[in-house]
Amino acid sequence: MEVIDGNRIAADLIAELKAEVARIPGRRPCLALVRVGDDPASVSYVRKKGLTAAEIGIESRNLLPPVSITQAELESLVDGLNADPAVDGILVQSPLPAHLDERAVFARISPEKDVDGFHPVNVGKLAQEDASGFASCTPAGIMELLARSGVDLAGKHMVVIGRSLIVGKPLALLALQKRPGANATVTVCHSRTAGLAALVRTADVVVAAIGRPEFVTADMVKPGAVVIDVGINRVADPAKKSGYRLVGDVAYAAVAPLASRITPVPGGVGPMTVAMLMKNTVKAFHLRKGG
């Protein structure tokens, strides 16, 4: 069994992007980070994105409107960033407060600045295998992790558990694509799937993106399978100073001995999500410059 080290692979990607950005003459790529309110998880995610951008040499701008912002005000803020020629990428941190329509906000971002890949045009380009679009960062990061770990998906059966717009669905589309590294046969399971455990047992590659701690147990995994754990769940742990620890959607201790490769939580998929956001920002910069 080999542990897929997401921290190391993300660090490699970040170093490559840093070298690429250093070669750009003149203006640096610029990422606008919009965070509404002070949700603690969003604060920490946006902070991490800003720090990673700085490490690469990508300029970042933080826009921190109050939680009381209206839909119209937020859309007008996005319009301003769309119109600003110095901004290459726009990220509106999810989740937005309940009074805001997240989908409408994502659709307001110019597709060519939509580095999170949530705009309908980019989702469409993903389905059409048009490489000028932006794929959602977490699934794109999973594809990169697999490629850089020497896993060729061609002809393999990938079972994705979870059908969200952020992870499960775009990952299924990416793995299905007709290109080197992809070409998988994909099954997507969800909360209404009948016989889920038996389906997962047929997988060469299992991807768990459910949001339920240790949902995937050893009896669901074929020996030798590659296991990718997307879940980030807080479970109470009085032994920790914070009072909780992070666990994935896979029962790691029991599944790891069976797997040929497995991602840990934390330190697997998570670091790749931020690295791919940076990759998308550099791509947006080049596409906008026509280079």
Active site (catalytic) residues = 49, 93, 116
Give least dist CB 90 to ligand NAD, A: 19
> Residue 224's Cα: distance from chain center in Å?
25
Q: How many residues bind ligand NAD (CB under 6 A)?
A: 24
Nearer to ligand NAD, 28 or 49 (CB): 49
Among residues 88 and 229, whose Cβ is nearest to ligand NAD?
229
Helices (H), the chain: 6-22, 40-56, 71-83, 102-108, 120-128, 137-148, 168-176, 196-201, 252-255, 269-289
- Phi and psi dihedrals of 128, rounded to 5? -90, 0
Rule CB under 6 A: say whether 117 interacts with ligand NAD.
no
How many residues are recorded in the chain?
A: 291
Q: Does 232 bind ligand NAD (CB under 6 A)?
A: yes
CB atoms within 10 A of CB 132: 10
**How far apart, in whole angstroms, are the C-alpha atoms of residue 91 and residue 108?**
12
**Contacts with ligand NAD, 245-274, as mask; x by CB under 6 A:** ------------------------xx--x-
When the beta carbons of 121 and 196 are compared against ligand NAD, the nearer one is: 196
- The least distance separating ligand NAD from the CB of residue 289, rounded to whole angstroms, comes to 29
Pattern 175-204, ligand NAD, x by CB under 6 A: --------------xxx-x--x--------
| Residue nearest to ligand NAD according to CB distances in the complex | 164
Which residues 134-173 are close enough to bind ligand NAD by CB under 6 A?
138, 161-164, 166-168
**Which amino acid, residue 268?**
G
Q: In this structure, which amino acid lies at residue 254?
A: A
- Give 83 or 194: the residue with its C-beta nearer to ligand NAD: 194
Q: Which is nearer to ligand NAD, 29 or 231 (CB)?
A: 231
Tokens at residue 86, please? 């110095």
User: For the chain, how far is it from start to end, CA to CA, in angstroms?
Assistant: 42
- Spell 154-172 as b/e; 16+ CB within 10 A means b: eebbbbbbbbbebbbbbbb
Smallest distance, ligand NAD to C-beta of residue 231, A: 4
Interface ranges with ligand NAD (CB under 6 A): 138, 161-164, 166-168, 189-191, 193, 196, 209-212, 230-233, 269-270, 273
